[in-house]
Amino acid sequence: MRLAIVISVIVVAGATAIIRLATYNPTDHERMIDLSSFHTWEPTTEQIRAQLNPSQSVHQQKEQYGRLFRSRYRSKNMPVNLRVDKEGVFYLECAATIPTWDKALIAQQAWREIQTLFEVNPRVLIYESYIGIPSRWVGIARPDSKKPSVPEVVFDTGWHLRRKPQANDFLRTLPQGS
């Protein structure tokens, strides 16, 4: 009797899977966003420059830049956040569902815009964000060692295999209470 029930469940599950595969149409689902034209997404760098208030402190301008940068991606339904601490280190948080190569493009864009707007070679720490748990550090955007005017994006996705995770691998709040 039990064997008949198990076989019936397997047959029904298999038939359901075959029907779903036969009727699946990938064009019915939302496609990934094409980042090849993200430099034209609004607000553009020039629009951001026009919105930055010169009477504010540089830190406040950087915080405003982070909000405008975030709004650019959120308008395309991409969960991206950019924050800055008191020392000027930027924290780029991207949803874990965003592919690594897209995170690299986003980090490069942030690095170049920060350099253009604030005339500094920034340090951008890249984090993967998850729902319900702190964001996890996965990489950094920094000046290239041979050509400092160009960003170098380096990912370290294997840290969990080499050592025990440290508390500073996870972004709970910005350092110095920012």
Q: Is 111 within 8 Å of 118 (Cβ atoms)?
A: no
Alpha-carbon distance of 6 to 82, in angstroms, equals: 51
Do the strands 124-129 and 135-143 form a parallel or antiparallel pair, or are they unpaired?
antiparallel
* DSSP-based three-state secondary structure for 37: helix
pLDDT tens for 17-30 read: 787 777 766 555 55
Residue 135 or residue 36, greater confidence: 135
The whole-angstrom separation of Cα 129 and Cα 126 is 10
Can you tell me whether residue 140 is helix, strand or coil? strand
How many angstroms separate the CA atoms of 132 and 89, rounded? 24
Q: What is the pLDDT of residues 36-62, one digit of tens each?
A: 677 788 999 999 999 999 999 999 999
pLDDT at site 18: 82
Strands (E), 53-112: 80-84, 90-95
pTM beyond 0.85: the answer is no
Q: What are the extents of the domains in the chain?
A: 33-177
